[in-house]
Amino acid sequence: MKDLDNFEKKIGYDFKNKELLNKVFIHRSYINENHGKIKEHNERMEFLGDAVLELSVTRFLYDKFPQKTEGDLTAIRSALVNTDSLAKKAEELNLNDYLLLSKGEKDSIKGRLHILANTFEALVGAIYLDSDFDKANEFLKKYLFDYVEEIVKLKLYKDPKSYFQEKAQENNGATPKYKLMGHKGPDHDKIFVMGLYLKEELIAEGESSSKQKAEVEAAKNGLEKKNWV
């Protein structure tokens, strides 16, 4: 395990129980590959962190958007705590640098976002266990809640494909089409690249582990490129 002192300085929280922090970065696959050396992985802590995260985010959104309906608040919350959002924040904190994974998981592209998102949740759970809800909430205010501005501005809480189609028909009188541009990586771990077209014009591209998800990413990128927000 790498020295975590710098990580604690980065997040602005000094763990009283260092073992809690160590456990944040232990993936189940590492234990399976290193029998007997380490006995506990981060999944129970992730389970706890998920609950802390939901309550913290719910209260934050309730206070921040007093005029929004329950439906909109639910959609925004979902966008803020989904795998892509949490993985993005995990990458900003360089959680990947400290993860203990099996060789197979290290080489996997598809599973990486899911693992990073789970590790972020485990970190929230660890801070809660080491202190209290307020400290975990402070961490989330500092490292997650700011993303809500982008989510609301770009309307990422709405279905991006449906929203792009609505705007395309409204502004261009055209229905968007998606085409496979290619793929990356080995056959067992492909990343698909989908192009978003209006008539014959390529508007944007998106990449993900499935064609459907790549289309969603292309729609998000298209909304931003066309400034349809």
**Residues sharing a CB contact under 8 Å with residue 125, sequence separation 6 or more, in sequence order:** 45, 46, 47, 48, 49, 50, 52, 136
Q: What is the CATH number of the domain that holds 135?
A: 1.10.1520.10
Choosing from 131, 153, 175, the residue where a domain stops is 153
Task: Name the percent of the chain lying above pLDDT 70.
Answer: 97
Element (H, E) at 194: strand 191-198
Residue 82 — very low, low, confident or very high, per pLDDT cuts 50/70/90? very high
pTM, two decimals, is 0.77
Angle in degrees, CA 144, 140, 131, rounded to 5 = 160
In this structure, the answer to whether residues 200 and 110 fall within a common structural domain is: no
Query: Which active-site residues does the annotation give?
Result: 50, 121
Choosing from 90, 124, 153, the residue where a domain stops is 153
In this structure, the answer to whether residues 78 and 137 fall within a common structural domain is: yes
What is the pLDDT, as a whole number, of residue 188?
Answer: 80
Structure token pair of residue 32: 């399976």
- Say if residues 223 and 164 touch (Cβ distance below 8 Å): yes
pLDDT of residue 110 exceeding 80, the answer is no
Q: How many domains does the chain have?
A: 2
What is the pLDDT, as a whole number, of residue 109?
Answer: 57
- Say if residues 218 and 194 touch (Cβ distance below 8 Å): yes
Residues counted in the chain:
229
In this structure, the answer to whether residues 110 and 182 fall within a common structural domain is: no
Range of the domain at 165: 160-226
pLDDT tens-digit profile of 113-135?
899 999 999 999 999 999 999 99
Q: What is the CATH number of the domain that holds 183?
A: 3.30.160.20
pLDDT tens-digit profile of 150-201?
888 877 888 889 889 999 999 999 999 999 999 988 888 889 999 999 999 9
Distances (CA, A) of 11 to 84, 144, 211: 20, 12, 35
Residue 35 — very low, low, confident or very high, per pLDDT cuts 50/70/90? confident
What is the pLDDT, as a whole number, of residue 3?
Answer: 80
- Say if residues 125 and 151 touch (Cβ distance below 8 Å): no
What is the pLDDT, as a whole number, of residue 108?
Answer: 66
In this structure, the answer to whether residues 100 and 190 fall within a common structural domain is: no
* Residue 65, helix vs strand vs coil: coil
For residues 100 and 26, give the distance between their C-alpha atoms in angstroms, rounded to a whole number.
5
In this structure, the answer to whether residues 9 and 106 fall within a common structural domain is: yes
Q: Name the nearest CA neighbour of 10 among 123, 91, 93.
A: 93
- Range 208-223 average pLDDT: 92
